[in-house]
Amino acid sequence: MADSPYPTVLVIGGGASGNAVTVLLRRAGLAVDLIEARPDWNATTGSGITLQGNALRVLRELGVWEQVEGSGYAFGSLGVTAPDGTVLFVAEDIRTGGEDLPATLGMQRPRLQQILIDAVRASGATVRLGVTAETLEQDADGVSVRFSDGSAGRYDLVIGADGLNSATRAAIGITERPEPTGMAIWRVAAPRPERVVRTDLAYGGPAYIAGYTPTGEKSIYAYVVEGCRDRAAVRPADRADEMRRLAQRYGGAWPEIARHITDPEQVNYTWFTRMLVEGSWHRGRVVLLGDAAHCCPPTIAQGAAMSLEDALVLAELLTGGRPWGDELFQAYYDRRVPRVRAVVEASVQIGQWQLDGVRDADVPGLIGRTMNLLKELP
């Protein structure tokens, strides 16, 4: 980092939250370096993503809403079906981002990442790919960082946005780690059947959940949730066969979707995990963001939204004129943790009810209460 009259920030991790906080801090005039371990900046990774209104609200604040809107598929309801495809009921989605934004938008995850990458590039941040932070040495005034390419830098603040298995979290002595919840998910992108105009979820059948979400006029992403398998037993070459075997036992749009589950390299298999770092999300001048601080199953599709909200709140506090220190970073945690805790607990509870075979669980009520909470500004 070159000498700068402005506070200097290192962002570790170029996912949604790291990209978002970089854009917001650059807008305020801060000097920001962003490093990302993957040389491709995750620009081709993932099938689809569901963004609810509170996530869209942050994307609008970032200045990328028009690109997101033009790249995704907006809708306002959720269907629940029987395993044979019979629609049991359709519920209107709660507009957690306000009445002037869609309730929900699905889009291809690589497209969202590329939009955020373009915003980071346009912000003037310094970006280095294929680079990690090897050591973080703190004193009262900042953090000295040595990088994997042999270079070094000095920063007023380091933001760890390096995901579930955050090396930054471990480096500052926070011992929480993601824990499996007992469920796993198969995901794939596929062409959109004409009848698919919203998220539909089937509970029960050969798996716990089978669902799909439109991500564009011609695309969807589909997913099947089952119990965890030994990861070593899920051979990459067999992933398409395994997901198709589960998918083709559902009705409705699923037979058409299943025909396109043929390429094992396009099928992702991941365990559901949960984590919430307690007490604070910082140590000295290093603070955690997004999945590095918390994660939850995607049962209410709020993981990305919580990470984007973290970026918005942290950037607001950092640029509000208060001294950078324990009081500010604790205020960040105190402001975020009630909302994040509600999402983590609700997301885990919905899955646990299914694992336990609870037939009369109030899933709609729990989702409704959580979504109404999220209508409030973060």
Question: Is residue 240, in this structure, part of any structural domain at all?
Answer: no
Return the pLDDT at 6. Answer: 67
Question: Is residue 203, in this structure, part of any structural domain at all?
Answer: no
Give yes or no for a contact between 185 and 270, defined as CB atoms under 8 angstroms apart. yes
Residue 200's CB is within 10 A of a number of other CB atoms, namely: 23
Distance CA 15, CA 276 (A): 19
Distance CA 211, CA 226 (A): 12
Radius of gyration of the chain (CA): 21
| CATH code (residue 348) | 3.50.50.60
Question: Is residue 199, in this structure, part of any structural domain at all?
Answer: no
Give yes or no for a contact between 93 and 83, defined as CB atoms under 8 angstroms apart. no
Eight-state DSSP code of residue 292: G
Give yes or no for a contact between 369 and 345, defined as CB atoms under 8 angstroms apart. no
Amino acid at 297: P
pLDDT in 10s for each residue of the chain, 378 residues: 444 556 999 999 999 999 999 999 999 999 999 999 999 999 998 899 999 999 999 999 999 999 999 999 999 999 999 999 999 999 999 999 999 999 999 999 999 999 999 999 999 999 999 999 999 999 988 999 999 999 999 999 999 999 999 999 999 999 999 999 999 999 999 999 999 999 999 999 999 999 999 999 999 999 999 999 887 888 999 999 999 999 999 999 999 999 999 999 999 999 999 999 999 999 999 999 999 999 999 999 999 999 999 999 999 999 999 999 999 999 999 999 999 999 999 999 999 999 999 989 999 899 999 999 999 999
Q: Residue 128's domain spans which residues?
A: 8-53+109-178+274-356
Note the Cα 362 to chain centre separation in Å: 25
pTM of the model: 0.96
Distance CA 5, CA 210 (A): 53
Distance CA 125, CA 120 (A): 6
Number of compact structural domains in the chain? 1
Helix axes 53-62, 303-318, angle to 10 degrees: 40
Question: Is residue 341, in this structure, part of any structural domain at all?
Answer: yes
Give yes or no for a contact between 126 and 74, defined as CB atoms under 8 angstroms apart. no
Question: Is residue 98, in this structure, part of any structural domain at all?
Answer: no
Return the pLDDT at 102. Answer: 98
Distance CA 371, CA 94 (A): 7
Question: Is residue 165, in this structure, part of any structural domain at all?
Answer: yes
